[in-house]
Structure 1
């Protein structure tokens, strides 16, 4: 997914179709991502005098762990993006995130990698409900919550409460 600018300039004011399948190993260091299947990249490159407009469609499947149960699940990923590679833009320029500097080659693999990483969600299998309890904790309803326990004062702080009460009496 790399072309030289001189190669692309031959297609001036035309479009070049993209249809490639690539394997992107070591895409992310997230522990919940087990693997990513082959990535199919399709789209078009529109060649202009000082820039290349790239319309991308990326499709793959991400094999990952369910965020609640740690079971293996496969999440299909479909991404559409419009990217601009411009010869007049420098690396340090503050421009739109979809505008990239263009040097001697047009390399869309880093953009494909970034789009996949940004679009990988945290996944929960649909059949699961969130856990209701765990070790030393439990989810309770608001009706089960007893607010009277909040009014109880820790015996170690009883003297401070008495001090607070005496200050309130002085102010009155």
Structure 2
């Protein structure tokens, strides 16, 4: 997913189409995923006199833990973006950064879409995933040293604790204000 500008100049006036599959397995641990499928990057490059416009469609699949039941859930990746590469090396000020986030300099005479695709895979990852067929009943109800209880059980436990509390005899004559 890396092309030289001289190679792309041959396609000036007509689109250069690409369809490649990339592997970002090094992101699995960084993003806290169970698995990450190969990512398909498809699109076209339009070469103009002073810029290259890349229309990209990125697809793939994250495998994450269900937020309720901790079972594996497949979450699709489907992102479309348009990135513009400046061939003239125009420098931008910090004030323009927000509005030009899809604008890149063509460094060392190359157009490299791999880094952009990787960044989009990172950005598009959802914070949590819930399976469509997951319900509250599937949630873990207890674990090592803990359990989920409802409000009625909480009140019963509090009442039982109050009845069984013993007051230190030295403090028996004092009243709490």
Give the TM-score normalised by structure 2. 0.70
Partner of 1:129: 135
User: Is 1:118–2:123 an aligned residue pair?
Assistant: yes
Q: Secondary structure at the match of 1:7?
A: helix
Aligned to 1:48: 48
**Kindly tell me: are residues 109 and 157 of structure 1, through their superposed partners in 2, closer, same or farther at Cα, counting changes over 3 Å?**
farther
Matched, 1:99 2:103: yes
Of 45-54 and 67-76, the range deviating more from structure 2: 67-76
* Cα pair 1:132 1:139 within 8 Å, conserved: no
Aligned residue pair count: 146
- Seen in structure 2, the aligned counterparts of structure 1 residues 89 and 36 have a Cα distance that, compared at 3 Å, is farther
- CA deviation after TM superposition for structure 1 residue 14, in Å: 2.0
Match for residue 34 of structure 1?
A: 34
CA RMSD of aligned residues (A): 2.8
Q: Cα offset for 1:67?
A: 1.9
1:5-20 alignment runs, 5 A limit: 5-20=5-20
Q: TM-score, normalised by structure 1?
A: 0.72
Q: Which runs of 5+ in 2 are unaligned?
A: 156-173
The residue correspondences of 1:70-109 to structure 2 (distance < 5 A) are 70-87=70-87, 88-90=89-91, 94-95=96-97, 96-103=100-107, 104-109=109-114
Deviation at 1:137, TM superposition (A): 5.6
Deviation at 1:37, TM superposition (A): 1.0
Gaps of 5+ in 1: 146-155, 160-172
